[in-house]
Amino acid sequence: MRRINLKDIVPDLEGRLKKLNTLRKVFMVLALLIIPAIPAMIVLAKYGACMQLCHAVQAVKLKDKMPIFMLFAFASNEREAAQKLIDTGNLAGYRIVGDVMIVRDDIAMTDEEAWEEAAPFFNVNAAINMGMTADNMPECYKKIIEIQQRKEKELAEGAAEYGQCPSCGAPVKSVDSEFCDKCGTRL
């Protein structure tokens, strides 16, 4: 499974990105002159990693809350990376809820609510493609899968409805129903 290099997460990622961009420009010119290309490759790799982390920080700041797996694509240490972004001040004012969501501090959210909100975005196939198995999958993801299965079952049961009450919108469960079970309106 892919891992995030936690050493790349430092305070003031934006400032580091600017410095690395300057170095990148210098080394690109030097690389064209066939002067050591290895330092240029190192700088480019650090620049790319820093840029990805800055994009992740900006993605979180544009929203009140975001599933961690949407930022780090099921990396095996994604929660540690998210926590380090918070601890280094890059995501000051945010916290992790339910091991699955980065949430602004002023927003109240329980673990269960975090799992419910993350469930529509969770893709089991993507997690498997990134190397997760039933044995190494975090418990929070297993709970999200349970939520998805419950919602799929509810949808399947709802498909057996025979329309809706014209008054209150409640589902009509039987084709022979004369009255709405919820409000009593004649159907």
pLDDT of residue 96: 97
Alpha helices in 138-185 (DSSP H): 139-158
The DSSP secondary structure of 40-63, one letter per residue, reads HHHHHHHHHHHHHHHHHHHHHHTS
Range of the domain at 101: 6-137
Residue 117 domain-assigned?
yes
The partner residues of 164 in beta bridges, in order of sequence, read: 171
pLDDT of residue 34: 67
pLDDT of residue 126: 92
pLDDT of residue 59: 95
- State the 10-residue block means of pLDDT for the chain, 187 residues long: 88 94 83 71 88 94 94 92 96 96 96 96 92 91 95 72 76 80 84
Residue 21 domain-assigned?
yes
Q: How far apart are the first and last CA of the chain?
A: 56
Residue 61 domain-assigned?
yes
Residue 165 domain-assigned?
no
Residue 178 domain-assigned?
no
Residue 159 domain-assigned?
no
pLDDT of residue 150: 92
**Helix (H) / strand (E) containing 24:** helix 13-32
C-alpha 51/C-alpha 40 separation (Å) is: 16
Residue 158 domain-assigned?
no
Q: Which residues in 109-122 are b (16+ Cβ under 10 Å) and which e?
A: beeebbbbbbbeeb
Global pTM value: 0.74
Residue 167 domain-assigned?
no
- Total number of domains constituting the chain: 1
